Amino acid sequence: MVRFTSRMTPALVLLAGALAIPAAASAQTFTVQKYDIKGTGGTDYLTAENGTGRVFVSRGSHVMVVDGMSGNVLGDILDTPGMHGIALAMKEGHGFTTNGGDSTLSMFDLKDLHVIKKVHAGVNRLDGIMYDDFSKTILSINHSTPDGTAVVVNAATGDVVGKVTLSANAPEGGVSDGKGKIFINIENKNSIDVIDAKTWTKIATWDISPCDGPTGIAMDRKTNRLFVGCSGTSVVVDASNGKVVAQIKNGVGVDAIGWDQNEKLLYIPAGGGDGTVTVVHEDSPDKYTTVATVATFKGAKTIAVDDVKHMAYLFQPEFGPAPAPDPNAPAPAAGRGGRGGPRGPMVAAWFIAIKH
């Protein structure tokens, strides 16, 4: 079941639709609100700080820190040119951003958000980022050429301690099993690279067909299952051997995936079409039931989950009508997802909260 709130200021309620819920998954309730947090810049990934309610939202050249329960902006981390993602090393008290504009990570203090230093963690196209609690390191995931790389940074000191060469130049999300293995999606090969965190070497590459364009990745460490976000059909992978054990139907335009370990709920955002999140319950390691399809906002394709507060968050700017095209201008190159050409001014910056 999806419950709608009537609170309109500062929250604007979004419509959400629920599918019939099998007995195995039990009744589910989702409340959806959205807040205009203003600010400038586009977006890519966002990250929730488990248990605190803070959400770190990428805005291209800065990071907005938002209270997930109220939509209030708590802070702003500046000078993150071309940034894509945020990783948190909570035990070390540090956060890191991937800055594609100057090939650095911004290392910041989680208490007061001040930037401690810039870390040179790649040579070009820094994108995804993750924390590995086994090695206590941050990995920047880079679309380097000819092959992608993962640069390894000590989460306490910010020192670069290693680099892994990946199997292709379009790596996306990464996740750790907490026992010495790291799994990184390779979007243009429909595969997963397996990394040994003891030696910082790639030890395997797994084909994960029928997944098309794997982006976000999450893991249930208890069942040893990887959840891989793909356009149209996401997959569940046995982390011991790379076998695809389940397929999940979802929308298109997926660029991240969220996992609530305590509730055993998987959140798959789809920014294509009208914008939805498919919510799936893990009934058993190889069996999954879709319990809701929640309407969010068109274009919202990344997600972050706080599995202490049982909240999922998305962010997407809204743009007004595009200006009339210049008939003498050259045709624009299509961007990722087929988008290209001019767009209108930003009219809102929607921070979306899904409460379970």
Least Cα distance to 30 among 233, 284, 348, 276 occurs for 276
pLDDT of residue 101: 93
How does residue 248 score in pLDDT terms, banded at 50, 70 and 90? very high
- pLDDT reading at 250 higher than 60: yes
- Terminal Cα distance for the chain, rounded: 10
Least Cα distance to 225 among 199, 245, 198 occurs for 245
- pLDDT reading at 327 higher than 90: no
Mean pLDDT for the chain? Answer: 90
How does residue 125 score in pLDDT terms, banded at 50, 70 and 90? confident
pLDDT of residue 333: 56
CA distance 154 to 87: 13
Query: Structure tokens of 312?
Result: 């999922």
Chain centroid to CA 111: 23
pLDDT of residue 18: 44
Question: Is 315 in contact with 304 (CB distance < 8 Å)?
Answer: no
CA distance 129 to 184: 10
CA distance 343 to 140: 30
CA distance 266 to 259: 5
Contacts of 140 (CB under 8 A, 6+ apart): 96, 98, 105, 121, 122, 126, 128, 129, 150, 151, 153
Peptide bond connecting 146 to the previous residue in cis, omega within 30 degrees of 0: yes
Q: Is 63 exposed, middle or buried (0-12, 13-18, 19+ CB in 10 A)?
A: buried
Name residue 314's amino acid: L
CA distance 304 to 338: 24
How does residue 19 score in pLDDT terms, banded at 50, 70 and 90? very low
- For 252, which DSSP code? S
Q: Which of 22-36, 175-189, 217-231 has the lowest mean pLDDT?
A: 22-36
Residue range 274-295, pLDDT digits in tens: 899 999 999 999 999 999 999 9
For the chain, percent of residues with pLDDT exceeding 70? 89
CA distance 227 to 144: 25
| Predicted model pTM | 0.90
